[in-house]
Amino acid sequence: MNHHLPVSALTVHWGYFSKLLKPVLSVKSGDIVTIETLTHHAGDDFDRMIKGDEAAESIYKWDCDHQHIARRGAGPTEGNLMRGIGEGHGVHILTGPIYVEGAAPGDVLEVRILDVYPRPSGNPEYDGNAYGSNVAAAWGFHYHDLIEAPKPREVVTVYEFGGTGNSNWAKAVYNYIWTPQTDPSGVYHPTYNYPGVVVDPSTVNKNFGILEGIKVPARLHFGAMGVAPKEVDFASSTPPSYTGGNVDDWRVGKGARMYYPVAVPGAMFSVGDPHAAQGDSELCGTAIEASLTGVFQLVLHKANTLAGTALQALDYPLLETDEEWVVHGFSFPNYLAQLGENADQKVSEKATIDLAMRDAFRKMRRFLMQTRMLTEDEAISLLSVAVDFGITQVVDGNWGVHATLKKALFAEHRNGAKTQII
């Protein structure tokens, strides 16, 4: 069966994954769902990314009396709020959750990305083009290592790319140094620290003519995608974990298949943080954050069918393409269980690339031994001579390293379990 799930104030949740949410859609295994997603950075250029788009205007609606979507983040909704309502670190607008009938803890949810295309600007002034924003932010890896004045600074760069999906590149339109903003509720934001604050254009100076002649390859993908964890009622959308979330791997685009361990009944699948382009590391804090629509097929693999497959005992988000397997490692594989109370804050203080690298190594070692029946010594040799390890991201609190294994290595290998899930 085919479904369509539009973005609206009724179909999105902002800044968190939660097992407590009421599903906005229920599907059967094998159903196809077209899902609209909206970037949480649209306020960086209201005219290009919000104006004229009825759904975006509704979701971002916020005045001195009312926030259309009040909870933004996994934190408190009342009390001594320093940043705003929903003070947790989560920032992403997520469409969902979708309830998958029959899904139970121990199962694996396969998410096949059949297609991805841009959401064009709703403002007729911009002729159907699509736009996105890259923020060199205070949480970026570069922030305390700047060499030009003023220091420190946060810089927003707005990019344009083809809204029809035919363009395979993005180009910069302008940039500006982000300035402190006061939101409609009167909270002062000295840094870019809270989702959904629309930038007042009169407070910034736009610099045009930047990055002239440079075309950035488009890699349309979803930075945050996954199922609800069991450990807490509200989990920040920022740090990735064993159920997926903000993995920020540009490979999670058209043609990819993601596998997530189901932690709660119905799986409760959500997707957001759409990106037009990103490099490994997402170094300055963000990708080109741009609204996209994806076509997904959701396939449930029951726990009693997984023995002898690549999904046996899966406890992390696993990526498959026609040519590769990609294992995702994190500084803390399940930071919610490992770090306890205030885990989303603790993980950003304790995360290191060393920890993420060791986790990726351990997961890929297990993958090779389990699915190809290699000895540990065989697996370790192959890890060094044939597996590519890369830095997925260093900006999401729980840092990531991915390990990429080419399927062609096993073209003549006849031992072990099957590594292709049908």
Question: What is the distance between the alpha carbons of residues 386 and 392, in angstroms, rounded to a whole number?
Answer: 18
Task: Of 102, 92, 81, give the one whose Cα is nearest residue 7.
Answer: 92
* Angle at the Cα of 122 from the Cα atoms of 16 and 248, rounded to 5 degrees: 35
The pLDDT of residue 422: 35
- What's residue 84's pLDDT? 80
**3-state class (DSSP) for residue 57:** helix
**Dihedral-angle region of residue 46 (phi above 0 means left; psi in -120 to 50 means alpha; beta otherwise):** alpha
- Which domains are delineated in the chain? 2-296 (2.60.120.580), 302-410 (3.10.28.20)
d(CA 408, CA 386): 11
Give the pLDDT confidence score for residue 259 in this predicted structure: 98
Would you state the pLDDT for residue 332? 98
Q: Rounded to an integer, what distance in angstroms lies between the CA atom of residue 13 and that of residue 97?
A: 8
Alpha-carbon Rg for the chain, nearest whole angstrom, is 21
Closest CA to 347 of 330, 334, 335: 335
Per-residue model confidence (pLDDT) at position 248: 98
Contacts with 166 (C-beta within 8 Å, 6 or more apart), sequence order: none
- What's residue 269's pLDDT? 99
Please state the three-class secondary structure of 370-420 as a single string. HHHCCCHHHHHHHHHHCCEEEEEECCCCCCEEEEEEEHHHHCCCCCCCCCC
Question: Which letter does DSSP use for residue 209 in this model?
Answer: S
Residues 221/253, Cβ–Cβ less than 8 Å: yes
In this predicted structure, what is the pLDDT of residue 419?
46
Average pLDDT, consecutive stretches of 10 residues, N- to C-terminus, the chain (422 residues): 97 97 98 98 98 98 90 86 80 98 98 97 93 97 98 98 78 98 93 93 98 96 98 96 98 98 98 98 98 98 94 96 97 97 93 98 96 96 98 98 97 63 42
